[in-house]
Amino acid sequence: MALLTHSVAHLLSERLAAYQQSGLLRQLRNADGLVDFCSNDYLGFARSPELKAAIQQADVAQTRARTGATGSRLLAGQTTLANVVEEELARFYGTESALIFNSGYDANLGLLACLPKAGDTLLTDELIHASMIDGARLSYATRYRFRHNDLTDVENKLKQARESQKNGQVFVAVESLYSMDGDVAPLRDLADLCDRYDAALLVDEAHATGLYGPNGEGLVVAMGLQDRVLARVHTFGKALGVHGAAVVGPGILRDYLINFARPFIYTTALPPTACWQFAALTCT
């Protein structure tokens, strides 16, 4: 039995009680047999017999593949399949390269923690997802939060960043379609501001993936802005109905993430089955 001293038990129950009193207590509830009015399976893909059949077919074709990746892709976990799928993802999302992460959370954490360094500045919308917030917290860059979708506030913070850190790189991180309010970022205006202040735009496309663009490539492609955004995060656990994520952008960004993104380096890669899922989604 795990050691739980009286004082630790008291501490935990006090914190949980305070959470409950504020109406914030989280509990796991079984969703089996319920009608789905709340998940991120926007297109019903997670329940699609066609997608399931395509994944099973790919599964059967790969008889010699391992069940698990067996390690980080920098050790034994690298497969040709992952590279092929990443090339396909890059083509699909209209950019040079893609790098698969185990989840959208990992992708945002890795990207925001390693790209802006000490001496750089990271500007984030106040409504970005927890994974971006956590990544930003791990970065040594100077951080500013701007009011949600407020271009005047973005510009003020960009000016502030340029005045206080003349030599550092400035990054601006937003979602394209916000999970909190369901509204859309003014991406074109943000890209214009980034151009004006020599900043790099990072866009989390978690909720736009599969829903916007001619083939579901997301809002950046829908607006023709793919050459004005440094990195996009596409997650596969929402409208695409499976799991995992990719950061897409220039080839050098992929090389950088392979070297510095800790949630990519220090974790067991997704199993080959997950890659077949992406293959079934993107290569068909």
Ligand X SMILES: Cc1ncc(COP(=O)(O)O)c(C=O)c1O
The catalytic residue positions are: 179, 207, 238
Q: Name the token pair of 148.
A: 């949600």
Return the DSSP state at 241: -
Give the single-character DSSP code of 113: H
> Per rule CB under 6 A, is residue 246 in the interface with ligand X?
no
Nearer to ligand X, 162 or 243 (CB): 243
Task: Count Cα neighbours of 114 within 13 Å in the Cβ-side half-sphere.
Answer: 20
**Token digits for 25?**
């207590």
Which residue from 121, 131, 209, 226 is in contact with ligand X, where contact means CB under 6 A? Answer: 131
Nearer to ligand X, 55 or 185 (CB): 185
> Under the criterion CB under 6 A, does residue 206 sit at the interface with ligand X?
yes
Binding mask 150-189 for ligand X (x = CB under 6 A): -------------------------x---x----------
Residue closer to ligand X, measured from CB, 120 or 205: 205
Q: Which of residues 33-52 bind ligand X (CB under 6 A)?
A: none
The number of beta carbons lying within 10 Å of the beta carbon of residue 229 is 24
Nearer CB in complex with ligand X: 206/279 = 206
Instruction: Give the separation between CA 96 and CA 256, rounded to whole angstroms.
Output: 14
Give the span between the Cα atoms of 139 and 136, in whole angstroms. Answer: 5
Determine which residue in the list 54, 69, 116, 129 makes contact with ligand X, applying CB under 6 A: 129
Q: Which of 108, 124, 142, 176 binds ligand X (CB under 6 A)?
A: 108
Provide the edge-to-edge strand list for the sheet that holds 231-235: 97-101, 245-249, 231-235, 199-204, 170-175, 121-125, 142-146
Q: In whole angstroms, give the CA distance from residue 87 to residue 40.
A: 26
- Piece in contact with ligand X (CB under 6 A), picked from 103-111, 144-152, 164-172, 251-259: 103-111
Q: Which helix (H) or strand (E) holds 161?
A: helix 151-164
What are the tokens at 210? Answer: 């599969």
Binding status of residue 231 toward ligand X by CB under 6 A: no
Q: How far is 248 from 237, CA to CA, in rounded Å?
A: 16
Q: Is residue 104 close enough to count as binding ligand X by CB under 6 A? A: yes
Q: Which of helix, strand or coil describes residue 68?
A: coil
Of 120 and 204, the one with the shorter C-beta distance to ligand X is 204
3-state secondary structure of 29: coil
Closest approach, Cβ 62 to ligand X, in A, equals 24
Give residue number: closest CB to ligand X: 104
89 scored as a contact of ligand X (CB under 6 A):
no
Residue 237 is a binding residue for ligand X (CB under 6 A): yes
Among 208, 245, 253, 269, binds ligand X (CB under 6 A): 245
The residues binding ligand X (CB under 6 A) are 103-105, 108, 129, 131, 175, 179, 204, 206-207, 235, 237, 245
